[in-house]
Structure 1
C-alpha cells in the first residue's frame, strides 16, 4: 500500500501542478477540451495511463469540460500515486489542446 502524504507534502506537490486543487482527501482538476470528441480522446489516453499505473481517477465528462478526481482509496487519502497520475493527466491534456 502507498504511504499517505502529510499536509506539507500535499501542499508542496500541489505547487508543482497548477490547476489542481485539494478537496479533502482528493485532488481535482477540470480542463476544457477543444471539442467534445477531443475530450473523449483525452479521457481515452488518461484511461490507458491509469490502467498502466493501476491507479484509476474518477472522471466526469460534461460536453467539453472534463473533471479528474484522484485519491488513493486503499490508503484512505492522498499518496504519491495521485500526484504522479495528475502529472500524466496534465501532459495528456496539453497534447490534446485542453485548457
Structure 2
C-alpha cells in the first residue's frame, strides 16, 4: 500500500479517486483537495476532448472553463492542468 491520503488512477472507465480510510483505499466520487470542483467529470471530459479535438482545442476549452468557474479560487489548477495537457498526457486505454 502506498499510504498516500488520496490516490488518483485513470482507467478505461475514466478517473478514479481513492481515499485512504482506516488503512484501506475506498473509492470516492470527489476529491477532498478540490471539494467544490467536479474533478472526475472535468478530467474525463478534457481527456476525451484531447483525443477527439486535439490538444490545443482542449487546452483552450479548459482554460475558458477555469476562467469562467474557478480562476479566483484555484489559480494553480489552471497552470498544472494545462501543463499536463500540453505534455500530451493521454492515458493508455
TM over 0.5: no
Q: State which structure, 1 or 2, has the greater radius of gyration over its C-alpha atoms.
A: 2
RCO higher in structure (CA 8 A, sep ≥6)? 1
- Which category of TM-score, normalised to the shorter sequence, fits these structures? 0.3 to 0.5
